[in-house]
Amino acid sequence: MNRKLRMGMVGGGRGAFIGQVHRMAANLDGKIELVAGAFSSDPEKSRLSGEDFFLDPDRVYGSYEEMAKAEAAREDGIDFVSIVVQNHLHFAVAKTFLEAGINVICDKPLTVDLEQAKELKKIVDESGLVFALTHNYTGYPMVKEARRMVKDGELGRLLKIVAEYPQGYAVGDVEGERSGAISNWRADPKIAGKSNCMGDIGTHAHNLTKYITGLEVEELAAELTAFIPGRELDDDGNCLVRFTDGVKGIIYASQISNGDENDLTIRIYGTKASIEWHQEDPNELIVKYANAPRQTYRRGNDYLGEAAQANTRTPFAHPEGFIEAFANVYLAAAEAIVDQIDGNPAPDCGYDFPTVDDGVAGVAFIQACVDSSSNNAAWTKLDL
Yes or no: say if 231 and 180 are a contact pair by the CB < 8 Å rule: yes
- What angle separates helix 114-127 from helix 90-99, to the nearest 10 degrees? 20
Binding to a second copy, residues 88-117 (CB under 8 A): none
- Among 131, 165, 243, 269, the residue binding a second copy under the rule CB under 8 A is 269
* Nearest CA among 208, 199, 204 for reference residue 90: 199
x/- binding map, residues 10-49, to a second copy, per CB under 8 A?
-------x--xx-xx--xxxx---x---------------
At closest approach, how far in Å is the CB of 248 from a second copy? 6
At closest approach, how far in Å is the CB of 257 from a second copy? 5
Using rule CB under 8 A, residue 289 touches a second copy: yes
Query: Which one, 3 or 44, has the nearer CB to a second copy?
Result: 3
At closest approach, how far in Å is the CB of 132 from a second copy? 20
Query: Which one, 107 or 164, has the nearer CB to a second copy?
Result: 164
Yes or no: say if 366 and 109 are a contact pair by the CB < 8 Å rule: yes
Using rule CB under 8 A, residue 322 touches a second copy: yes
Instruction: Output the CA torsion sign for 188, 192, 194, 197.
Output: negative
Using rule CB under 8 A, residue 190 touches a second copy: no
- Helix H segments across 28-131? 43-52, 64-73, 90-99, 114-127
Using rule CB under 8 A, residue 185 touches a second copy: no
At closest approach, how far in Å is the CB of 286 from a second copy? 9
How many residues lie near a second copy (CB under 8 A)? 93
- Among 214, 313, 338, 371, the residue binding a second copy under the rule CB under 8 A is 313
Bridge partner list, 288: 274
At closest approach, how far in Å is the CB of 242 from a second copy? 8
Query: Which one, 134 or 355, has the nearer CB to a second copy?
Result: 134
Binding to a second copy, residues 211-240 (CB under 8 A): 221, 223, 225, 227, 236, 238, 240
Binding to a second copy, residues 60-79 (CB under 8 A): none
Q: 60: Cβ–Cβ under 8 A, 6 or more apart, which residues?
A: 36, 37, 38, 39, 46, 47, 49, 50
At closest approach, how far in Å is the CB of 143 from a second copy? 13
Q: Output DSSP code: residue 60.
A: B
